Amino acid sequence: MDMAKGLLRGLAGAAVVSATLLALAGCQDDDGKTGANGAKDGRNPVIAPGKPGERARTLSPEQAARERPDDTPNAADQTYVRGMIEHHRQALTMSALAPDRASAEAVKGLAERIAAAQKPEIGAMEKWLARYPAPSGAAAGTGGGGGTGGTGGTGGHDHGAMPGMATEQQLKELADARGTDFDRLFLKLMTAHHEGALKMAGQALAGGNNVAVEEMATEVVATQTAEIHRMRALG
């Protein structure tokens, strides 16, 4: 699934969730009669499917809106998105070193794929933040969203809050390495980096509330799990 498309679907989370409430003009209930809130007053009724074994209900548009699940972003959603932007930026910094330093074409190709996937993911997450800015005074405690600027995620004291982030010393060693030494260190650091991203995604899936963030975290789990397997095979 394309992340940007996933975000667009997620940003319409209310529509995605309420899609299960099927708006049908002139619908009838199980007794074959037009629902009390149906088309007689010029408005379409909404049929809410029941749980397994339960009958569907006919709702007015107002009732359907009131029963629509609330996916307002919470602190876990904000923490994940801000932190993952920083996490992804460091991955791009590491991947950018590969073309001139790696010896194995497979490592170069892997770095290229990581960059190709994570650049648009950063863009999608930045769009999400623009739509759902953190409450005033809350951004500083989100574990990686502030204080580091756009330097590729390589500096600052927020790394301890984000699993898998390489240290300044490790990044320097990677930049200084060449050939097979670079390949080996890149695979080691990037594997740990991806494993950290999976932990962050798991936290978002467990504690978040927003549909778009759930989709983004699910995408990270899928793509980075596959890349971890690939890197372990190369190592």
Could you tell me the mean pLDDT of each successive run of 10 residues in the chain, 235 residues long?
46 42 41 46 68 74 68 96 98 98 98 97 97 72 38 43 93 98 98 98 97 97 97 93
Q: In the prediction, which pLDDT does 77 show? A: 98
Distance CA(223)–CA(123), nearest Å, equals 17
pTM value is 0.67
Distance CA(40)–CA(95), nearest Å, equals 62
Most distant CA atoms of the chain, gap in Å: 77
Q: If you search the block for the tokens 């994940």, which residue do you land on?
A: 80
Q: In the prediction, which pLDDT does 135 show? A: 77
Helix axis angle for 75-95 and 179-207, nearest 10°, is 170
Q: In the prediction, which pLDDT does 60 show? A: 75
